[in-house]
Amino acid sequence: MNLGFLGLQFSFGLQQGNMSPIYSYLGANESQLPLLQLAGPLTGLLIQPLIGAMSDRTTGRWGRRTPYFLLGAVLCCAGLFLMPLSASILMAASLLWLLDAGNNITMEPYRAYVSDRLDPAQRQFGFLSQSAFTGLAQMLAFLTPSILVGFGMNQDWVDAHHIPYTVRVVFTIGAVLSLTTIVWSIWRVPELPLTPVERAEILARPAGFGATLMEIVHAIRDMPRAMRKLGLMSLFQWFGMSGYWTYAVYSLGRTIYHTSDPQTSAFHSAVLTNGEVAAFYNAVAFVGAFAMVPLARRIGPGPLHALALGCGGLGMIALPLVHAKALLFIPAIGIGLAWGSIMGNPYTILTSAIPPQRTGVYMGIFNMMIVLPMLFFAVVMSRLDLGFVSIGFDVYHRLLGNDPRNLLRLCGVCLIAGGLAVAWVEEGRVRPAALEPAAA
């Protein structure tokens, strides 16, 4: 089941590691980067709740989730193949919208697909194993450019628009991988057919786009208490992760390679080093996700996630203090533990609290809690002058001194705050046996 998720997350890994440098190669300055990354949060905000609600209501011969898997995989493949060919910032930003639309169309049904196939006792392991595949996929995505250079590609071999050819090769690999793994996954593990009762329940619901929108509104109104509490955690957690993915390479450029110029060989080295560090923390996430399974059963996914976010926050705060490449991998351990937990434990809490017949729409709404903090980060940190209007508050320049190292420290504080927030979610704790309700 998770092989297709591996292809999807390979695509996300390519975005995390390469979109900021691609914009810089094409002439963008650092303070513009968050707003240029708006495609991800906005497409997630608009697409995932709609796709979630629609997939809950789909009754065709191909199943509820499969049509969206296939559509998203094709769009993702096209976006990955074309992205390294970008000739301008506008072209790269437009292709990012296409790529993120494909990723988001596929992502939400994939979450619901796991919940559909597994009974409640299996879901904790199911989502943590999905988290492990996320770590494996992104490790490969981040590490592949360095492997290409190790096999003899020149890291400074660039096209007419200053984009390295290593980026072109790895994005082509991602395009093929995302499409083939998703197709393989749904072919080998088809969806379970709807029971007559489930089909009748779906067909009894009002049809049409307006009904889908009202389903989202009603689901937000009826949102379970545990899901509401997870919103505060998500605000801090995803604000911090969004900032880290956008600016980590620029922090490493200053601390390890003493450069902020994206057209230099030293910056190319910083991009490769960032990929190696990210590959390492994703490897930690891959191993850590499986190691977390017995711990989650012992103490609960909530306290475990709080501890993991604390480790990640300390790692981000420490990273700008390191000036030797070999030592970068120590704080990356904490970041990897946080990332492994982020992709698994909150979903365990969530799926235990939401009704099965509304899994798709609630997964989509939960994604809104991911993308809204990213949108907030972009507007707060950046400023983009469109001539007739300016967007953003430019905190990166005004309060952080255009220094990515200060931004990473702020991200670390946010992860620690997210850990404190998730500790408030009682539904994620293991209850003492004496307090368990008696069996009916």
Higher pLDDT, residue 82 or 431 = 82
Give the chain's end-to-end CA distance (angstroms, integer): 34
The 10s digit of each residue's pLDDT in 23-73 is: 999 999 898 898 888 877 887 777 777 777 777 777 777 777 888 888 989
Residue 437 has pLDDT above 60, yes or no: no
245: confidence class by pLDDT, cuts 50, 70, 90: very high
Cβ–Cβ contacts within 10 Å for residue 157, how many? 12
Residue type, 101: A
Structure confidence by residue, pLDDT tens digits, 113-153: 777 788 877 877 777 777 778 888 889 999 999 999 999 99
pLDDT tens-digit map of 326-360: 999 999 999 999 998 998 888 888 878 888 777 77
| Residue 26 φ/ψ, nearest 5 degrees | -85, 0
8 Å CB contact between 112 and 52: yes
Q: State how far the Cα of 171 lies from the Cα of 96, in Å rounded to an integer.
A: 13
Q: How confident is the model at residue 365 (pLDDT cuts 50, 70, 90)?
A: confident
Integer Cα distance of 157 and 100 in angstroms: 27
Amino acid making up residue 145: P
Residue range 180-232, pLDDT digits in tens? 998 898 888 887 777 787 777 777 777 677 777 888 888 888 888 888 888 89
SS3 299: helix
Q: What are phi and psi of 158, to 5 degrees?
A: -125, 160
DSSP count for the chain of H helices, then E strands: 17, 2
- Pick the range with the lowest mean pLDDT from 166-180, 236-250, 347-361, 422-436: 422-436
Do residues 296 and 286 touch, judged by C-beta distance below 8 A? no
Q: For residue 399, give every residue at least 6 positions away whose Cβ sits within 8 Å of its Cβ, in sequence order, or none.
A: none
**What's the distance, CA 289 to chain centroid?**
16
Give me 183's structure tokens.
């197709």
Query: Could you give the C-alpha distances from 357 to 31, 123, 354, in angstroms and in order?
Result: 43, 16, 9
**Distance of alpha carbon 261 from alpha carbon 131, whole angstroms:** 35
pLDDT number for residue 113: 76
Q: Is 74 helix (H, G, I), strand (E, B) or coil?
A: helix
Provide the mean pLDDT of the chain: 86
In this predicted model, what pLDDT tens digit does every residue of 276-314 receive, in sequence order? 999 999 899 888 888 888 888 888 888 999 999 999 999
pLDDT given at position 151 = 94
